[in-house]
Amino acid sequence: MKVFGKLLLTGAVAAGISLAAAAPASAYVVCNKDGDCWHSDVRVRVPGIRFESHPDDWYFHQKWDANRHWRDYHEGRGYYRGGVWVTL
């Protein structure tokens, strides 16, 4: 009976790890009205300012030109405004 319990526990742990690994990560591309877009782990919300949130793979299907600018990932909570990072 001890062997069966260990086998059952091992199977449960393996199933839990598989489910955790299969869960999609939350990642977004966020854009503001100025055309600044950046990668974010959360949907950006700032009172009085509107942002568009897109799935992370949206980046690969865009034209980056004078109207839409890709900005580097920035640590911390904030957003881009006119190409400058604003920390919240």
Q: What is the pTM of this model?
A: 0.67
- The pLDDT of residue 25: 59
pLDDT higher than threshold 70 for residue 18: no
Residue 80, classified by CB atoms within 10 Å of its CB into exposed (0-12), middle (13-18) or buried (19+), is buried
The domain ranges of the chain are: 28-87
pLDDT higher than threshold 80 for residue 31: yes
- The pLDDT of residue 30: 95
Tens-place pLDDT, residues 44-76:
899 999 999 999 899 888 888 989 999 988 888
